[in-house]
Amino acid sequence: MKDKSIILVRTNLLDRDPWLARHIDCLRRENYKVLLLCWDREGKSRDRQDENKKDKFQELRLKVNAMWGVKVLFFLPIWWSFVFFWLMWKKWDLAHAINLDSVIPVVIAGKLKRKPVIYEIYDVYVDLMVLPRIIRRIGIFLEKFFMRCASVVIIANEAQEKEVNGIPNRNTAVIYNFPPDNFKKEPAQRNGSFRLFYAGVLYHSRPMNLDKVYKAIENIDGVSLTIAGYGDAVGDIQRWAKKNGNKTEFIGRITYDEVIERTMKSDLLFALYDTGVPAIRYANCNKLFEAMMCQKPIIVSKGTAMADMVEKEKCGLVVDSSSVDEIGKAIVRLRDNPELRNQLGENGRNAYERKYNRHIMERRLLALYSNALKGPQGRINHAI
């Protein structure tokens, strides 16, 4: 399979998708030639040219300003035309589309060129917001139609199969969004406050209950909160930090390496997304795997796939994310019980090493590519 050409298609920039960056590095190490078609929705990025990588990796960006959220629908025909043109013009052996907003031109070009297509689903799009039942049914129908058309379907966790009521493709595999193993043991006890840390996208359309965490720690002594990220909710977060600067800090957008560094120096992570958003109930947040890798406990929302994993691996606490009182009690419990905190962290780290580490997921990913490139006779042996 050496020197096979792969085209990856994603409606976001590479530096905002650490999983995709790791994916590309994995393929390059196996001598695949990789072309990434991506969308700079702000139109502000500068083209990068890495002389050491350009023989194995090329990145082409559509620079068209577009809104995030529902309004992006008006710009999708431009994106699809860009992708379809490159797919029809370039020579390639396999195309890999990420999410419904990219898969349509990839499937059409794949059929026309008789090439294999991988369809990877980070999130089921119609579940990213609460929609009327008929619209959700149409969205699920489209998801399943393109699942049938793909050579291979990749999902982020087992719960997504339940979310769409079954995946109509026998070549389906789960690949968790694993972080690289950058674990460094921190001193068991440090002076200063008990530190909570959150890094991620900060959009009102993806409510993460940061306001409830902020309220929960207002009257808890010895606890501080650091938030990093970008999005339309930044203004609210900056106001909280200004109002209570000694307990809440906003540091803006940071690199993924700094996210991991700060995670390892924190005492507690949390992923308290609003379960009123359907996709949240089925998603495994990156924060969960980062907490596992960094040997840190995590607090997650009740009634989610993340909660099921946290309870199974005994690596954190599960709370009602709408309850300031429950969030506060969980923080106090972990602040005051370092033995529990350490045990939960160790449980998560052990689970990461056994089940969710880079080498396991990379082997699974490469097997998918190898089998897809063999044609219809190649079948994966680790389907859900």
The pLDDT of residue 276 is: 82
Q: What is the pTM of this model?
A: 0.85
Per-residue pLDDT of the chain (384 residues; tens, 9 = 90+): 568 999 999 998 888 888 899 899 999 999 999 999 999 887 666 655 444 455 679 999 999 887 666 667 788 999 999 999 999 999 999 999 999 999 999 999 999 999 999 999 998 888 877 888 899 999 999 999 999 999 999 999 898 999 999 999 999 999 998 888 888 776 544 557 899 999 988 887 778 899 899 999 988 999 999 999 988 889 888 888 888 767 889 999 999 889 999 999 999 999 998 888 888 888 877 889 999 999 999 999 999 999 999 999 999 999 999 999 999 999 999 999 999 999 999 999 999 999 988 889 999 999 999 999 987 644 444 444
Compute CA distances 268 → 105, 290, 292, 317, whole Å.
42, 11, 11, 11
The pLDDT of residue 294 is: 95
Q: Where do the structural domains in the chain lie, given as residue ranges?
A: 5-177+357-373, 194-356
The pLDDT of residue 123 is: 87
Q: Which region holds residue 222: left if phi is over 0, alpha if psi is between -120 and 50, else beta?
A: left
Amino acid present at 234: V
Identical fold for domains 5-177+357-373 and 194-356, yes or no, is yes
Give domain 194-356's CATH superfamily: Glycogen Phosphorylase B; (3.40.50.2000)
Candidate CATH numbers 3.40.50.2000, 3.30.450.40, 3.40.50.1370, 3.40.190.10; the one for domain 5-177+357-373: 3.40.50.2000
Is the CB of residue 109 less than 8 Å from the CB of residue 95? yes
The pLDDT of residue 369 is: 94
The pLDDT of residue 381 is: 44
Is the CB of residue 121 less than 8 Å from the CB of residue 155? yes
The pLDDT of residue 191 is: 56
Residue 119: burial class (beta carbons within 10 Å; 0-12, 13-18, 19+): buried
The pLDDT of residue 146 is: 96
